[in-house]
């Protein structure tokens, strides 16, 4: 209910702000922002992986690693024609 009241009470500004976007894509502020976002993302991923390891346990984690290794070996052993067939199937299925 409070959101509705606040939205109704707001109005657009009559004057433009004096601040403008940065003139260069290579501004240090943009690099700092990107590095900060990457650090936050990496921290979240590390935290989520630790939670998943804790919830699954070592046995299930080893089973997943084994499955991925077998899958990668199978894909690595495929010929170019087989890979082209797979890519064609994925493209057709996505349409």
User: How far is Cα 54 from Cα 57, in angstroms, rounded to an integer?
Assistant: 6
Is 25 exposed, middle or buried, given 0-12, 13-18 or 19+ CB atoms closer than 10 A?
A: exposed
In order of 2, 18, 23, the CA distances from 15 in angstroms are: 27, 9, 22
pLDDT at res. 63: 92
pLDDT in tens, 3-52: 888 777 777 777 877 888 888 889 999 999 999 999 999 999 999 999 98
Q: Which residue has the tokens 């899958």?
A: 71
Angle at 89 between CA 86 and CA 92, to 5 degrees: 150
> Is residue 67 assigned to a domain?
yes
Looking at the domain assignment, is residue 66 inside a domain?
yes
- C-alpha to C-alpha distance for 38 and 32, rounded to whole angstroms: 10
**Residue 75's pLDDT band (boundaries 50, 70, 90)?**
confident
| Total domains, the chain | 1
Residue numbers of the domain that contains 71? 58-95
């Amino acid at each position: 209910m409070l959101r509705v009241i606040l939205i109704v009470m707001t109005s657009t500004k009559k004057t433009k702000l004096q601040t403008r976007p940065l003139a260069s894509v290579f501004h240090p502020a943009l690099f700092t922002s990107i590095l900060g976002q990457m650090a936050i993302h990496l921290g979240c991923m590390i935290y989520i992986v630790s939670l998943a390891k804790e919830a699954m346990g070592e046995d299930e984690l080893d089973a997943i690693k084994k499955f991925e290794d077998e899958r990668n070996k199978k894909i690595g052993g495929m010929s170019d024609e087989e890979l082209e067939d797979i890519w064609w199937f994925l493209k057709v299925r996505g349409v």
